[in-house]
Structure 1
Amino acid sequence: MKPLNDIGLLDRDKLLEIFDYLNQQLKENALELELTIYGGSIMTMVYDNRPATKDIDCVFSDSNDKLLNHILKNAQFVFDLSDGWINDEIREPLKSIIKEDLEAFKTYSNLSILKPRAEQLLAMKILAARPEPAKDFGDAFILCRDLGITTKAQLLAVISDYVPRTLLGERQINFIKYLGEDLGYDWQ
Structure 2
Amino acid sequence: MDMFNNLGLMDKNKLLEIFDYLNERLKENQLQLEITIYGGSVMTMVYDNRPATRDIDCVFTETNFKLLDNILDLTKFAFNLSDGWINEEIREPLKSILKEDKETYKIYSNLKILKPKAEQLLAMKILAARPEPAKDFIDAYILCKDLNITTKDKLLDVCSEYIPLTLIGIRQMNFIKYLGEDLGYDWE
Q: Structure 2-normalised TM-score?
A: 0.96
Matches of residues 121-132 of structure 1 in structure 2 within 5 Å?
121-132=121-132
1:136 aligned residue: 136
Contact 1:100 1:116 survives alignment (8 Å): yes
Contact 1:35 1:61 survives alignment (8 Å): yes
Q: Give, in angstroms, the shift of residue 7 of structure 1.
A: 5.5
Q: Give, in angstroms, the shift of residue 24 of structure 1.
A: 0.3
Percent of paired sites with the same residue = 74
1:71 aligned residue: 71
CA distance in 2 between counterparts of 1:183 and 1:86 reads 33
Gaps of 5+ in 2: 1-5
Matches of residues 33-52 of structure 1 in structure 2 within 5 Å?
33-52=33-52
Aligned CA-pair RMSD: 0.7
Which amino acid counterpart does residue 77 of structure 2 have in structure 1? F
Matches of residues 52-63 of structure 1 in structure 2 within 5 Å?
52-63=52-63
Matches of residues 1-188 of structure 1 in structure 2 within 5 Å?
8-188=8-188
CA distance in 1 between counterparts of 2:105 and 2:146 reads 17
SS in 2 for 1:185: coil
CA distance in 2 between counterparts of 1:45 and 1:129 reads 21
Q: Give, in angstroms, the shift of residue 125 of structure 1.
A: 0.1
Gaps of 5+ in 1: 1-5
Count of aligned residue pairs for this structure pair: 183
Q: Structure 1-normalised TM-score?
A: 0.96
- 1:116-174 per-residue CA deviation (whole Å, 9 max, x = no partner) reads 00000000000000000000000000000000000001000000000000000000000
Q: Give, in angstroms, the shift of residue 88 of structure 1.
A: 0.3
Q: Give, in angstroms, the shift of residue 187 of structure 1.
A: 0.5
